[in-house]
């Protein structure tokens, strides 16, 4: 398979100029814009690890649909599952046998899952889970962490990408909404602390413990690149929430199925009360999962009083796609085999580190499983642990790098305001990773020549 060299003059520009007349900003969501390119990527199709542009240019893709397409763009099993769903008719009012099958698979794989409810997006799942936690505890407040993103609604859209600043240990941060149009009253129910600072969580519980319904976190904070939790910190947060009767929610919409089929909770050995999955669970077909302890999940209507339902909840396309995705992810060697995702991660990250060192580019490459951050301007040897450690990263160099890679046929998605994350999936084999490294190296030479 040859990679056609994309031309630097982007043929997509004319399309987006026309699209702006009828589509807000010419795109279907803010995050589609690639700040490095000044516009979104215009695709005609996807094939394995490639995005194919309308002019036939093929880009080695390190975006993978916001982290959802873990098996590549044309996985035969997922395609067959969707075809089976089509053959059934677009049926999504009655239940079928497949929702139960998928729920059972998730219960078997994910340590915290005893019961399951399906939703359509990560945002819907976090919204439902927070209401569920509030119903279960009869409390209002939630505690979230700086730099963690949980979707686009009023209950969680706070402090996802604040300006760089000095934070003192134990500090409870000022709550700051990331969108206009959020009534101030919502902020009264949100407490924000820095990630990996146990004293701040303790402080929050000292002040507000009896009012805290839930602590919600990305157990691997991919939305700030790839920030791991200290294991002692995570265990302590588990203990504090248990002691105070608060619901611990792991938002694994991004971290689910990155380190193994038991997700980040299996990776750490820390089990939350409620888990949210999305993205990779159905390889890019819309589906989200709310899963958790039986007594908490029983709070959902019609067993309990916490409302959750939807025209498309448990839609057959997503459910069938997820069954096929889990079949593929559960195959031996997918994560830890010789050419599994973890080995490919190491191959890519060590290759990138070598290139940056050789080309004298200061960049911290930090990955957990097949998702990673490129923190330009930060010390390559120092592991950042919290949002403020990376808030000052050099986003201009990231944009220049992504532009240079794009010209060499490698696609990195760069957000305007958030740090962002990159990643790959099972379609990126050793040959693809090596080809990527060659192209990235050439891009770095171009950068130096610019
Ligand atoms: C950790 C996390 N939670 C929730 C969401 C929201 O998911 P969705 O975009 O499907 O609404 C995202 C999306 O990026 C996410 O990364």
Decide: 121 and 278 in contact? Cβ < 8 Å. Answer: yes
Shared-domain flag, residues 231 and 362: no
**Which one of 68, 127, 130, 149 would you pick to mutate in the ligand 1 pocket, going by the greatest count of ligand atoms within 8 A of its CB?**
149
Residue 312: inside a domain, yes or no? yes
Q: Let me know if residue 4 belongs to a domain.
A: no
Rg of the chain taking only CA atoms, in angstroms: 21
Query: Measured in angstroms, how far is the CA atom of residue 286 from the centroid of ligand 1?
Result: 11
pTM of this structure: 0.97
Residues 62, 51: Cα–Cα separation, whole Å: 10
Best residue among 227, 272, 276, 278 to mutate for probing ligand 1's pocket (most ligand atoms within 8 Å of CB) is: 278
Mutate to test the pocket of ligand 1, among 254, 263, 290 (most ligand atoms within 8 A of CB): 254
Looking at the fold, whether 388 and 430 belong to one and the same domain comes out as yes
Q: From the alpha carbon of 121, which atom of ligand 1 is closest?
A: 10
Nearest ligand 1 atom to the CA of 278 is 10
Closest atom, ligand 1, to C-alpha of 286: 10
Measured distance between the N- and C-terminal CA atoms of the chain, rounded to whole angstroms = 30
Interval between CA 44 and ligand 1 midpoint (Å): 24
Q: Any idea what the CATH number is for the domain that residue 42 is in?
A: 3.90.1150.10
Question: Rounded to the nearest 5°, which phi and psi values hold at 20?
Answer: -60, -20
Tokens read off for 37: 């390119």
DSSP state of 29: S
Residue 123 alpha carbon to ligand 1 centre in Å: 6
CB atoms within 10 A of CB 22: 7
Q: Whose CA is nearest to atom 4 of ligand 1?
A: 150
Q: DSSP strand E in 207-271: where?
A: 212-217, 220-221, 227-228, 247-251
Atom 16 in ligand 1: which residue has the minimum CA distance? 254
> Which residue minimizes the CA distance to atom 3 of ligand 1?
150
Domain count, the chain: 2
In degrees and rounded to multiples of 5, residue 144 shows phi and psi of: -125, 180
Minimum CA distance residue for ligand 1 atom 13: 151
Domain-located, residue 5: no
Q: What letter does residue 10 receive in the DSSP assignment?
A: -
Q: Are residues 405 and 430 in the same domain?
A: yes
Residues 445, 363 within the same domain: yes
Of 300, 329, 358, the domain-final residue: 329
**Atom of ligand 1 at shortest range from CA of 123:** 11
- In ligand 1, the atom with minimum distance to the C-alpha of 252 is 1
Residue 198 and residue 83 share a domain = yes
Per residue in 268-292, is it b (16+ CB within 10 Å) or e — as a string? bebbbbbbbbbbbbbbbbbbbbbbb
User: How much is the pLDDT for 138?
Assistant: 98
One domain for residues 103 and 217: yes
| Ligand 1 lining (C-beta closer than 6 Å) | 66, 121-123, 126, 149-151, 218, 223, 251, 253-254, 278
d(CA 131, CA 312): 19
3-state secondary structure (DSSP) of residue 119 = strand
Range of the domain at 70: 12-74+335-449
pLDDT for the residue numbered 10:
64
CA of 218 to the centre of ligand 1 (A): 10
- Going from the Cα of 350 to the center of ligand 1, the distance in angstroms, rounded, reads 28
Q: Which of 284, 313, 329 is the last residue of a domain?
A: 329
* pLDDT by residue, tens only, the chain of 450 residues: 344 444 444 679 999 999 999 999 999 999 999 999 999 999 999 999 999 999 999 999 999 999 999 999 999 999 999 999 999 999 999 999 999 999 999 999 999 999 999 999 999 999 999 999 999 999 999 999 999 999 999 999 999 999 999 999 999 999 999 999 999 999 999 999 999 999 999 999 999 999 999 999 999 999 999 999 999 999 999 999 999 999 999 999 999 999 999 999 999 999 999 999 999 999 999 999 999 999 999 999 999 999 999 999 999 999 999 999 999 999 999 999 999 999 999 999 999 999 999 999 999 999 999 999 999 999 999 999 999 999 999 999 999 999 999 999 999 999 988 888 999 999 999 999 999 999 999 999 999 998
């Amino acid at each position: 398979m040859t990679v056609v060299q994309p031309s630097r003059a982007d043929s997509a520009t004319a399309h987006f100029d026309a699209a702006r007349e009828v589509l807000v900003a010419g795109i279907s969501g803010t995050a589609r814009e690639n700040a490095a390119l000044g516009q979104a990527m215009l695709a005609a199709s996807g094939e394995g690890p490639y995005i194919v542009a309308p002019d036939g240019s093929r880009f080695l893709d390190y975006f993978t649909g916001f982290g959802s397409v873990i098996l590549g763009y044309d996985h035969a099993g997922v395609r067959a599952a969707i075809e089976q769903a089509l053959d059934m008719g677009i049926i999504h009012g009655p239940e079928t046998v497949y929702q139960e099958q998928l729920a059972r698979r998730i219960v078997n794989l994910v340590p915290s899952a005893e019961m399951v409810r399906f939703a359509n997006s990560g945002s819907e799942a976090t919204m439902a889970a927070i209401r569920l936690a509030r119903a279960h505890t009869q409390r209002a407040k939630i505690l979230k962490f700086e730099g963690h993103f949980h979707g686009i609604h009023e209950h969680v859209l706070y402090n996802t990408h604040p300006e760089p600043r000095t934070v003192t240990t134990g500090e409870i941060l000022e709550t700051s909404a990331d969108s206009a149009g959020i009534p101030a009253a919502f902020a009264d129910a949100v407490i924000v602390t820095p990630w990996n600072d146990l004293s701040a969580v303790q402080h929050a519980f000292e002040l507000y413990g009896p009012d805290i319904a839930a602590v919600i976190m990305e157990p691997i904070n991919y939305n700030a690149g790839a920030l791991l939790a200290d294991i002692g910190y995570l265990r302590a947060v588990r203990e504090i929430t248990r002691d105070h009767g608060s619901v611990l929610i792991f938002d694994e919409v991004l971290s689910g199925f990155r380190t193994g089929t038991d997700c980040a909770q299996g990776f750490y050995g820390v089990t939350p009360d409620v888990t949210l999955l999305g993205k990779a669970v159905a390889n890019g077909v819309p589906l989200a999962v709310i899963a958790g302890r039986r007594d908490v999940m029983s709070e959902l209507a019609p067993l309990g009083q916490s409302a959750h339902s939807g025209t498309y909840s448990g839609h057959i396309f997503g459910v069938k796609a997820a069954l096929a995705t889990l079949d593929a992810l559960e195959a031996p060697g997918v994560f830890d085999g010789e050419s599994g995702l973890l080995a490919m991660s190491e191959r890519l990250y060590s290759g990138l580190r070598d290139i940056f060192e050789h080309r004298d580019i200061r960049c911290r490459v930090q990955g957990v499983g097949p998702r990673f951050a490129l923190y330009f301007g930060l010390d390559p040897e120092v592991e950042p642990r919290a949002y403020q450690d990376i808030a000052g990263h050099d986003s201009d160099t990231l944009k220049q790098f992504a532009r240079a890679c794009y010209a060499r046929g490698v696609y990195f998605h760069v957000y305007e305001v958030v740090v962002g994350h990159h990643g790959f999936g099972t379609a990126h084999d050793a040959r693809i990773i090596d080809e990527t490294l060659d192209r990235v190296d050439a891009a770095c030479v171009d950068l130096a020549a610019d």
